[in-house]
Structure 1
Amino acid sequence: MEASLQVLAFWVVILVWSFASASSSGPEDFRRAFPIVEPDSEHTKLRLAREGLEAIQRITTPIAAVAVIGPYRSGKSFLLNQLLSLSCDEGFGVGHMRDTKTKGIWVWGTPVELDIDGTKVSVLYLDTEGFESVGKSNVYDDRIFALATVMSSVLIYNLPETIREADISRLSFAVEIAEEFYGRFNFEFC
């Protein structure tokens, strides 16, 4: 499956980048959102964003990621700000117009540190570009969805209204991608 190969390549690049350099920035430099995956100008391809990867590569503990996906203008960024106890002025950018504010996938630069069974874990929050916005293809939406699915430990599908058949199809697609990705590497999949 082409999408799973792209996801594998994405994580290989992140791992190589993580081991290749170290960052000397203080935590205050990372108290904002950073892009980790950005669209090209035509919204047909995705590319890695250096500043987001630098925010991630400085983390030395195991990482768990919470990603929020859903249609555009459905409150994904607002929900993440609530989870982080941040106002809309200090957290992820929240748009008030019809145009989407988030392009690609963004990460909050300061992880939430948790102790899980005696292990310190850094929880990252990922904001994604919404589906079905004007000027984008379904293939582009599927790429964002697939990347968010395999990058996250917890995936929140934020819907502003009732569940539609298309939403169920997208979730089914996410499960297929995750099963194939984790199956290739013999990871335990729950």
Structure 2
Amino acid sequence: ILTPGENSDRRTVPVGLECIASELQCSICLELYTDAVTLRCGHKYCRQCITQHQRYPPRGANHQCPQCCRPFNCDSIITDYTINNMVQKIQQVMDRDVDEAKQLVAFEPSGSIVINEDILRSCFLAEDVKDRPLCLISIIGEERKGKSFLLNYLLRRLYNLERKDQQWLGAEDEDLKGFEWKPGANSTTKGVFIWSKPFLMETGRGKVAIFVVDSEGCNTVGQDTAFIVQLSALSMLLSSYLIFNISTKLKQTDLDYLEKLLDLAQQTGEAIDLDPIQ
């Protein structure tokens, strides 16, 4: 039987939603409803909570609503779609409340591509984003050359758009947070990651939602060509602005990669009738 406080993964409700969330809590588990149902008396519970409650009625008694003691049976339990939709929207806000890099695309060892649709929905279909134009800033380039480092400075700037001086750069000893990066020879980013927070920027045509995207290193010597093409195509198609990152001098291999990327963009543009280069 569920007991209050048993769920150790309970998330904190953002400030401003406490009053609404308090009306969407099951009186048995004291959490936000999970698969909410309504009894004939009108009281609501999680389906699992009330189902387990039915299994252990008071001795010699019929099944009763824990709040009003009105008898009920399985046939009187009705899914409450309105409550479930409200809980889903609050959970989307809770998921977005913590700013972090989330894996949007993963590459399996078999070569298959896995796209996380839940991350797509939480980022692009959020209430303050879904009706706005999107701008995705993506970066691609050889691994271990500072892509995530650069993106974290872009994040720092986006978090401080109101600053008109150089103070947005932060103090010299201030930790650079955001997309994970670390020194060493081993690659850190695997697949494609997106920063969960959208940055709303005012333009002449209204507000635009800006997202920042980090990609696994490519164009590395000895790397599988098919993987490079897949990663490059995904990064290109996801991007409003695609940054090609190099850390030293422009090499012939960089020029060869850019030529390959341009050819890929032209073929993709012809296939879906879209201007490949903005």
Partner of 1:38: 106
Q: Aligned to 1:75, which of 137, 146, 150?
A: 146
Partner of 1:16: none
Matched, 1:93 2:180: yes
How many residue pairs get aligned? The number is 169
Q: Which runs of 5+ in 2 are unaligned?
A: 1-84, 160-173
Aligned residue for 1:115, secondary structure, equals: strand
Q: Which structure has the highest helix share of the two?
A: 1
TM-score, length-scaled by structure 1: 0.77
1:129-144 equivalence runs, <5 A: 129-132=216-219, 136-144=223-231
Task: Give the CA deviation at 1:129.
Answer: 0.3
CA distance in 1, matches of 2:102, 2:152: 14
CA distance in 2, matches of 1:169, 1:47: 28
Task: Give the CA deviation at 1:23.
Answer: 4.6
Aligned residue for 1:26, secondary structure, equals: helix
Q: Aligned to 2:135, which of 51, 55, 64?
A: 64
Q: CA RMSD in A?
A: 2.5
Task: Give the CA deviation at 1:51.
Answer: 4.5
Residue identity over aligned pairs, in percent, reads 24
Residues 56 and 109 in structure 1, CA contact (< 8 A), matched pair in contact too: yes
Task: Give the CA deviation at 1:140.
Answer: 0.8
Aligned residue for 1:177, secondary structure, equals: helix
CA distance in 1, matches of 2:148, 2:184: 14
Task: Give the CA deviation at 1:46.
Answer: 2.0
CA distance in 1, matches of 2:233, 2:275: 19
TM-score, length-scaled by structure 2: 0.54
Residues 81 and 88 in structure 1, CA contact (< 8 A), matched pair in contact too: no
Change (3 A) 1:130 1:88: farther
Q: Once the two structures are superposed, what CA deviation does each residue of 1:133-180 show, in whole Å capped at 9, x if it has no partner?
A: 588512112211111112101111110111112211221222222222
Matched, 1:176 2:247: no
1:2-21 equivalence runs, <5 A: none
Relative contact order: is structure 1 or structure 2 higher (C-alpha 8 Å, sep ≥ 6)? 1
Shifted more, 164-173 versus 81-90: the winner is: 81-90
Change (3 A) 1:138 1:54: same
1:90-129 equivalence runs, <5 A: 90-129=177-216
Partner of 1:151: 238
Q: Aligned to 1:164, which of 251, 255, 267?
A: 251
Q: Which runs of 5+ in 1 are unaligned?
A: 1-20
Change (3 A) 1:52 1:90: farther
Q: Once the two structures are superposed, what CA deviation does each residue of 1:3-46 show, in whole Å capped at 9, x if it has no partner?
A: xxxxxxxxxxxxxxxxxx9753226535100111111135x332
Change (3 A) 1:40 1:83: same
CA distance in 2, matches of 1:135, 1:169: 15
CA distance in 1, matches of 2:272, 2:101: 30
